[in-house]
Amino acid sequence: MSAFPKGFLWGGAVAAHQFEGGWDSDGKGVSIADVMTAGDHQTSRRITDGVKPGENYPNHEAIDFYHRYKGDVELFSELGLNCFRTSIAWSRIFPNGDEDQPNEKGLKFYDDLFDDLLAHHIEPVITLSHFEMPYHLVQAYGGWRNRKLIDFFVRFAKVVFDRYKDKVKYWMTFNEINNQVGMLNEWSLFTNSGLVIQPGEDKEKVMFQAAHYEAVASALAVQVGHKINPDFQIGCMVAMGPVYPATPNPNDVFKAERLMQMNYYLADVQVKGRYPRFLENYFDRRKFDLDITLEDRDVLLAGKVDYIGFSYYASHVIKAQADEPKDFITLGNNQEVKNETLQRSDWGWEIDPVGLRYALNWFSDRYDVPLFIVENGLGAFDKVERDGSIHDNYRIDYLRQHIEQMRLAVEVDGVNLMGYTPWGIIDLVSAGTGQMDKRYGVIYVDKDDQGKGSLARSKKDSFDWFRKVIQSNGEDLA
């Protein structure tokens, strides 16, 4: 008998801006992803002031799923997926983000996509905002620093909830909403919240304010969604990277715990409906005077999510500094050290399968709601052999080890786990670097970092392996 329950969700995960392409097709507006140039492991992506001639914007074409989705859905069906996580590109539905009426052609695309998925017995799992908010909302309103965006987001959510109420059951509001807290850099602030920090601004205060407005928007969307269809399962989505202390030194242990508390405070807000006390005290000490109203607090409490969706790629090790403040909070200035016990990916990410079990237990103990692993995978260089085959045993090993730990969490620890959707089930544009050569998929796409290639799809060795895993409901990992 399988450790995983009947109906366990086996799928794959992507994001609209990283694989759809069709960036200006059928009335779609410019998104924040559309003004980010290509980069690589050594070169950061740049954020341009609008779309500029001569720049390389890899998301514009991506892998052209917008025009090729029927063939890709056939491959997903052959793989045996029973769910597929993607996002609705907000700027396909509301090109500028602040219109009164939605773009019918954008709505129709997702109607057709969801119909095709359901015809192949694949449940859509949909993220409302996955690093692709309309760029106009940055230009005209300053991004999520502006309370007006709450109404714009809730309008968007209401339209798609109502339109797809009989086609989509599983939803998430904001993808990796906590990235901005853990990173606090230009990339995370822009991709999460459309923030461009101005000279003299306190970026912590701006980030916390934007994150609050997002949390309120999420809670309102949860309430709206449950009214439209009480059977909706609406979750939050956070990036999980467990933090271990560098030594048994109590300061290192406390520093690691404080980082876990800070990195996942938005899960507290979205699952428990309230801010943790240590953070309320921090806001007071810093004299942030954030716009958090009593009505907001009521909204947060009334709009708690049904489950936690999370990404897991790597763990981290932290060392306390000699001059740690009393609260042990040093956002953007934490001393991370190398974990010598672990191997690393081609991009330097630590490979820690046991960390996934740790993460599942940490969430389970703290929140006691269903959990859903909606991203996990290995970004790696793949070699295409002369006969077209791709022998990615390294990816199979990575997925096998993580599924083994996932199974232990369910079978031994009693974790309530809904499903597992490895990231980038089909090769796509990396959000962090803008690369194609950083490949996650079990389906290969013929395109390189320079944008060259036929876009033809082919199966890697991991395709047949993962199909066997799904067919056995996670029992056959050989």
Instruction: Give the active site residues.
Output: 375
Q: Are 383 and 389 in contact (CB under 8 A)?
A: no
Q: Report how far residue 36's alpha carbon sits from residue 49's, in angstroms, rounded to the nearest whole number.
A: 9
Q: Which of 36, 30, 23, 24 is nearest to 139 (CA)?
A: 30
- Distances from the Cα of 330 to the Cα of 39, 321, 423, angstroms: 28, 10, 30
Token pair of 440, please? 């996650």
Side chain identity at residue 88, one-letter code: I
Burial 425-451 (b: 16+ CB within 10 A, else e): bbbbbbbebbbbbbbbbbbbbbbebee
Cβ-contact 320, 249 below 8 angstroms? yes
**What does the alpha-carbon distance between residue 333 and residue 262 come to, in Å, rounded to a whole number?**
13
| CB neighbourhood size of 181 (10 A) | 23
Which of 131, 62, 124 is closest to 90 using CA atoms?
A: 131
CB 211 within 8 A of CB 193: yes
**443-445/457-459 β-pairing:** antiparallel
